[in-house]
Chains A and B, each alone.
With several copies, the nearest count.
Chain A
Amino acid sequence: MISLTSNPIDIASAYKYLQADGAGAIDLFLGVVRDNTQARPVDRLEYEAYDRMALSEMKKIADEACRRWNILKFVVIHRTGLLRIGEMAVLIGVSTPHRADAFDATRYIIDTIKQTVPIWKKEVFTDGEIRVNATP
């Protein structure tokens, strides 16, 4: 399941979706808005996406993960719009029979999302300055 949403991401429904009788392991990675970037205090983030392409690039990444690892179910949800400190920007979840695959696949998906998916973050600092396109 892949989605872009401007609503808060719900971890419980992601977990529910990931359940499978053959699953022995579920890894959930949550990317959260932190209160600073390189020690500079952050007020909020704004995420903008090229929706159609973001969805298709996320699908490519998930498909590649399914080729590399034994994945039973996966969830990739990226939020867009205005996000405050502590809010979830992204949730990646993978269920697998054994745990190594769950960790490896989840990590691959988030690492690759950060490289190829057309989503952009605008950081608004507490001093009012705005920074576009700072890659983490």
Chain B
Amino acid sequence: MNASINVLLFGITRDITGQTAIQHPLAPHARVSDLLIQLHGQYPRLADIRALLVAVNGEYAEPDTKLKSTDEVALIPPVSGG
């Protein structure tokens, strides 16, 4: 049984993927940067976003943050609220 992780999508990442969330396979010891590389492979247009950040459990995360399958991950393209 392979582990997977839930990735929430917002803003332009919804338009690129056509989805509001995806289940993505999670390799053991995977970090945020590993997940991003895989998602870029799957959705090349994600690489066009000039500053794509990742949140883990509702907090901005660093590229070397480790992931576990119970984490809530979210792709955060440049915000435009206010």
> Do A and B originate from a single complex?
yes
| Interface contact A118-B82, CB-CB below 8 Å | no
Complex contacts, A116 vs chain B, CB 8 Å = 60, 79
Q: Which of B1-46 contact A (CB under 8 A)?
A: 8, 10-12, 15
Per-residue CB proximity of A78-116 to B under 8 Å, as 1/0?
100000000001100000000000000000001001111
Q: Is A54 an interface residue (CB 8 A)?
A: yes
Interface size on B, as a range, is 10 to 19
Min CB distance, A115 to chain B, in Å? Answer: 7
Min CB distance, B45 to chain A, in Å? Answer: 12
Q: Give the interface segment out of A9-17, A42-50, A64-72.
A: A42-50
| Interface contact A132-B15, CB-CB below 8 Å | yes
Nearest CB to that of B53 among chain A residues?
A: A118
A53-B55, A53-B74 known; A121 vs B81 contact (CB < 8 Å): yes
Q: Is A38 an interface residue (CB 8 A)?
A: no
Q: Give the A interface residue count (CB, 8 A).
A: 27
- In the bound complex, CA of A16 to CA of B8 (Å): 37
- In the bound complex, CA of A118 to CA of B59 (Å): 10
Q: Is A31 an interface residue (CB 8 A)?
A: yes
A50-B55, A120-B10, A132-B12 known; A113 vs B82 contact (CB < 8 Å): yes
Interface centre among B8, B10, B11, B82 (most CB of A within 10 A): B82
Contact of B76 among A56, A89, A118 (CB under 8 A): A118
Q: Is A124 an interface residue (CB 8 A)?
A: no
Nearest CB to that of A52 among chain B residues?
A: B58
Complex contacts, A52 vs chain B, CB 8 Å = 58
Binding site for A on B (CB under 8 A): 8, 10-12, 15, 55, 58-60, 74, 76-82
